[in-house]
Amino acid sequence: MFGTISKEIEVPVTANEAWKIYGTIQLANIVVKELPNIVHRVDILEGDGGVGSILRVTFPPGTPLLTSHKEKFVVVDDEKRVKIAQVVEGGLLDLGFTFYKVKFEVIEKDKETCITRATIEYDVKEEAAANASFVSIQTFVDIMNMVAKCLTQGKDGQSCA
């Protein structure tokens, strides 16, 4: 069973300013610092945050059914301002998912405003279809709202870095 969920928010900063966070490993660092209820720790296992980088994302103690997963950056496109991370081990893959990826996009609306969009794409085995209910865009909405707050309170997210 294939599914996709997407949500976007408007941010009163330039697309280039927002991409300075979304397009780098700084996003993971800010999430760990500002949203410890979502992500406890991020370890870079391979790479520098660009395409091919592999990260181990550890969830907070007590997170139902999930302790950690490994994800790989399969797209980091500075021109289109798109980053795609795909889970390659653990996490939802242990719960019957065959595919799970998250795409962040930063879209220029005008000279001083951008849209940030998060999209989840997943595929789950038919026998585990009930586990599709674990997929929620809200975590990524919380991340986008937190990044927006950082960007509007300090240049390049420095208020949260």
- Which residue, chain included where needed, has tokens 């979502």? 38
Catalytic residue among 70, 72, 83, 101: 83
d(CA 104, CA 31): 14
Q: By three-state DSSP, how is residue 47 classified?
A: coil
Give yes or no for a contact between 60 and 78, defined as CB atoms under 8 angstroms apart. Answer: no
Per-position DSSP letters for 79-103, written without gaps between them: TTTEEEEEEEEEGGGGGTEEEEEEE
Does residue 80 carry a catalytic annotation? Answer: no
Q: In terms of Cα–Cα distance, which of 59, 31, 64 is closest to 149?
A: 31
For the annotated catalytic residues, the residue numbers are: 83
